Structure 1
Amino acid sequence: MRKVRGVQALVDYLESINCPIGQSTIYGLMRTDSIPFNRPAPRVLLFDLDDIDSWLGGELNEH
């Protein structure tokens, strides 16, 4: 599993694959549970890049 910690790391990854999505958009997607993420602690956000790739491809409907 490929994981990144934090929204900025996810933004950087998305830019690297030519799919720029801003931080505010990602936070909005998180509020509506529209993007796969884990919050193992109150101030820690983890994103599994394999899940993100599937989500971008339209394969995931829920996280």
Structure 2
Amino acid sequence: MENNELIIHKLNRIEKHIFGLKAILNVEELSDYTGFKKSYIYKLVHTNSIPFSKPSGKILFFERKKIDEWLLKNSHKSNDEIQQEAIEFSLRKK
């Protein structure tokens, strides 16, 4: 049985990777892609907090590129990045 479980686990990982290659995702695929629960995704849609499309008026679709941008907005720099910028800035002022 352990061998079967390992195969199923690997297939699930491959499936999740494939979702990351798709340009357009539905709610279930977006949930797998982001790790967000479907109920949270619906809440984000309801509050217009996440970019989405609803072409037929019923089914939700999400453009992966826009989702990636949305996920990465408000990023914070690491201490190393801030220190490097400070060094570069001080060198430019001389």
- TM category (shorter chain) comes to 0.7 to 0.9
- Quick check: which has more Rg, 1 or 2? 2
Structure 2 unaligned segments of length 5 or more: list them: 1-21, 75-94
- In structure 1, the partner of 2:46 is 31
Question: What TM-score results when the alignment is normalised by the length of structure 1?
Answer: 0.74
- Establish whether residue 2 from structure 1 lines up as the match of residue 23 from structure 2: yes
Matched position secondary structure for 1:33: coil
- Establish whether residue 40 from structure 1 lines up as the match of residue 55 from structure 2: yes
Q: How many residues align?
A: 53
- How far is the alpha carbon of 1:47 from its aligned partner? 0.4
Where do 4+ consecutive residues of structure 1 move more than 4 Å? none
- How far is the alpha carbon of 1:42 from its aligned partner? 2.1
- In structure 2, the partner of 1:54 is 69
- The two structures, once aligned, show a CA RMSD in angstroms of 1.6
CA deviation map 1:22-51 (0-9, x unaligned) = 111110000000000000002221100000
The amino acid that maps onto 2:29 is A
Question: What TM-score results when the alignment is normalised by the length of structure 2?
Answer: 0.52
* Identical counterparts, % of pairs: 38
More strand per residue: 1
